[in-house]
Chains A and B, each alone.
Chain A
Amino acid sequence: MNTLEPTTTLPDTAVEPAVAIEHLQVRIPVDGSPAPVIHDVTLTIGRGEAVGLVGESGSGKSMTARALMRMLPDGAEVHGAIRFEGEDVQEMSPRRLRAYRASSIAMIYQNPHAHINPLRTVGDFLVEGLCQVQKVPRREAEQKVVALLVAVGIADGARRLSQYPHELSGGLLQRVMIAAALATEPDVILADEPTTALDVTTQEEVIAILREAQVQRGLSILLITHDLDLAGAACDRLAVMYAGQVVEVADGAGLVERPLHPYSAGLLAARPEIGVRARLRTVPGRPASGFEVGDGCVFAERCAFVTEQCVSERPQLRSLEGRQVACHRAEELDGVLLPLADGPVGADAPGQDKEPS
């Protein structure tokens, strides 16, 4: 556990990024008719880069990850491109798709107790990818995963192999899940809220383990979380998502110090701060899901700076000062949002008297 501080390795732009998502749009059937859950997600993950995908519940973070695994619900309509090392994931044959899932990409889930078969031993779970898919002999696979368990901080790995998932705590089982993900030596790891179900000290350890794996194994990581601080500490770049759209992409420090999108500023203001005993500020209004927003900006309903244009025309993600933001008024608001982030957002802003429903 030696690398909590961010790495300095920048993504190599000369080669194809590990993952490139362009203008992803996903609609899934709700009561028979397709409803949009992702409006416009454009995101790249460089080789060896850790990207944090941050947003509230229902903003489409997990859907984005599932689209990347091509594990969307039945009947989902997908537009836009999802490329892994230049190859379109949507175009993969069933056989190629299985191989891709087996050895190129791995997912770590929020709730290990639900995501690991309770009737099979921890050892079965750990070696499954190696033995079932890559046809590695069981004994060899076990040796490999015991070494990986040591790497994720489980010293008595050999004993753990014969235990059942319910005999392990959430934190321990999450380490097992990480070890299982690392076992097949993937290029990309998708971590979907990997620490949400864990207590704070365990959270830090799990993030440190992921960070270490990223650095030592040259992994690309997509960390999905609603915890901005956590993402900032663990990732090279952050992408903020709201209602199915990526609204801002920036490096961690840049985002925290000078958010360009009003929603990012709202998220920052909503963070609880240790030592300050005040009523927690929230982003006014209710978080919208992808299928609730109209033609305009996805955040227009809750934004303190909304204009006519915001309601009628959806802003696209565009580059601004080496970062990316999807806001019509980004230039005007640059630098204005930070003090607002420290004060109440939206509540006393002019031209705004919306009731949170």
Chain B
Amino acid sequence: MRSVLKNVIGALVTILVASAVIFAAMQLVPGDPAAEIAGTDATATEVEQVRQNLGLDRPAWIRYFDWLGGFVTGDFGQSLQHRQSVLTLLKPRLGATLMLDLYATLLVAVVGIGLGVLAARNRRMSSTLTVVSSVFVGLPTFVAAIFLIQVFAISLGWFPALADTGDGLASTIHSLTLPAIALSLSWIALVAQISRASFREQLGREHVQTAVGRGLTKNAIFRRHVMRNGAAPIVSVISLTMGGLIAGSVVVERAFSIDGVGAFLVQSILRHDAEVVMAITMLIVVVFIAVTVIADLIQLAIDPRLRSRGVDR
């Protein structure tokens, strides 16, 4: 219980530090938002008026706490470009990105671990995996996206080239399939390799010898003494994967014209929309840290030795 609390407190501190860094970084971005909004032919007093209206004349640290307080209470501020609340702008886009990332994560976990299991148990599969996965590990996401669109959308016509996340769950899943595959390919390859190595290592352990000596079937040995014992590094990699997927979704959303958070982030950076950029960046940080905490908790659930000795072992 103590280790769980420690994990959560650590996560909160990390989020706080990250928020300060993000805010400070946005202050250093060149350009004066007040001048931009006031327009090119505004006088100095008009610009000053705008600045006061936006509250930009207050000291930075007050604006930081103001912003942070808003973030905690769910108020992400106003987009100066769109003249709308950031939350209103984010809401519809968040759904699409969340679906895409979850879909991709599911693919990474299921296909990656599945291939790892097959390769750990079968010598021929293992050498095939080595060759194929080393190709895919290095495959850039945008190349994968272009290839998939060309083959499965344009030539075969199985999936739409432009993802439509509007109507119905089934059609959403169908149209997100290609983007999710493009997003997950290199991570599947990585997870497959890590799982194979981890399961292989467990297969050589003494407790597996014991199980063999007891006359258990190969399936039972794998299920009872290899899978869970080899899970720790796989959980770590998948939690990292989710961070990588968020970054990768920026590329994929553009390739498949998905109006998601990733695409919106790029757009907002180009338009100097500070409030939106800060909100999205903070969301990414929070999601990433939450995933890390969950991964740590899963590790605790897997290994009783971590529970009784605490996490700082």
Is A3 part of the contact surface with B, judged by Cβ < 8 Å?
no
- CB of A98 within 8 A of CB of B304, answer no
Is B215 part of the contact surface with A, judged by Cβ < 8 Å?
yes
> Which chain A residues (129-166) contact chain B, with CB distance < 8 Å?
129, 132-133, 164, 166
- CB of B214 within 8 A of CB of A119, answer no
B232, closest chain A residue (CB) = A119
Contacts of A184 in B (CB 8 A): 214
- CB of B207 within 8 A of CB of A116, answer yes
Of B215, B217, B224, B225, the contact of A100 (CB 8 Å cutoff): B215
B206, B207, B212, B214, most chain A CB atoms within 10 A: B214
Given contacts A102-B215, A133-B215, contact A119 B210 (CB under 8 A): no
Given contacts A109-B206, A115-B206, A117-B207, contact A98 B217 (CB under 8 A): yes
- CB of A101 within 8 A of CB of B214, answer yes
- A: contact size bracket: 20 to 34
Contact with A along B96-135 (1 / 0, CB 8 A): 0000000000000000000000000000000000000000
- CB of B215 within 8 A of CB of A119, answer no
- CB of A167 within 8 A of CB of B308, answer yes
Residues of A within 8 A of B (CB): 69, 71, 97-103, 106-107, 109, 111, 114-120, 128-129, 132-133, 164, 166-167, 184
Contacts of B214 in A (CB 8 A): 101-102, 106, 128-129, 132-133, 184
- Could you count the A-B residue pairs with CB atoms below 8 Å apart for me: how many are there? 74
* Whole-angstrom CA separation of A106 from B183 in the bound complex: 50
Q: Can you name 28 A-B residue pairings with CB atoms under 8 Å?
A: A69-B213, A71-B213, A98-B216, A98-B217, A99-B215, A101-B212, A101-B214, A102-B214, A102-B216, A107-B210, A107-B213, A114-B205, A114-B207, A115-B206, A115-B207, A115-B210, A118-B207, A118-B304, A119-B228, A119-B304, A128-B216, A129-B215, A132-B214, A132-B216, A132-B220, A164-B308, A166-B308, A184-B214
B288 → chain A closest CB, angstroms: 28
Contacts of B209 in A (CB 8 A): 71, 109, 115
Of B207, B215, B225, B229, the contact of A98 (CB 8 Å cutoff): B215
Contacts of A118 in B (CB 8 A): 207, 229, 303-305
- CB of B229 within 8 A of CB of A117, answer yes
- CB of B224 within 8 A of CB of A120, answer yes
* Whole-angstrom CA separation of A98 from B215 in the bound complex: 4
Is B284 part of the contact surface with A, judged by Cβ < 8 Å?
no
B228, closest chain A residue (CB) = A119
* Whole-angstrom CA separation of A129 from B229 in the bound complex: 19
Is B302 part of the contact surface with A, judged by Cβ < 8 Å?
yes
A115 → chain B closest CB, angstroms: 5
B192 → chain A closest CB, angstroms: 23
Contacts of A101 in B (CB 8 A): 212-215
Contacts of A164 in B (CB 8 A): 304-305, 308
* Whole-angstrom CA separation of A165 from B167 in the bound complex: 53
A114, closest chain B residue (CB) = B206
* Whole-angstrom CA separation of A116 from B224 in the bound complex: 12
Contacts of B205 in A (CB 8 A): 114
A169 → chain B closest CB, angstroms: 14
- CB of A166 within 8 A of CB of B304, answer yes
* Whole-angstrom CA separation of A99 from B224 in the bound complex: 19
Contacts of A109 in B (CB 8 A): 206, 209-210
* Whole-angstrom CA separation of A97 from B215 in the bound complex: 7
A153 → chain B closest CB, angstroms: 21
* Whole-angstrom CA separation of A184 from B212 in the bound complex: 15
B205 → chain A closest CB, angstroms: 8
* Whole-angstrom CA separation of A132 from B211 in the bound complex: 11
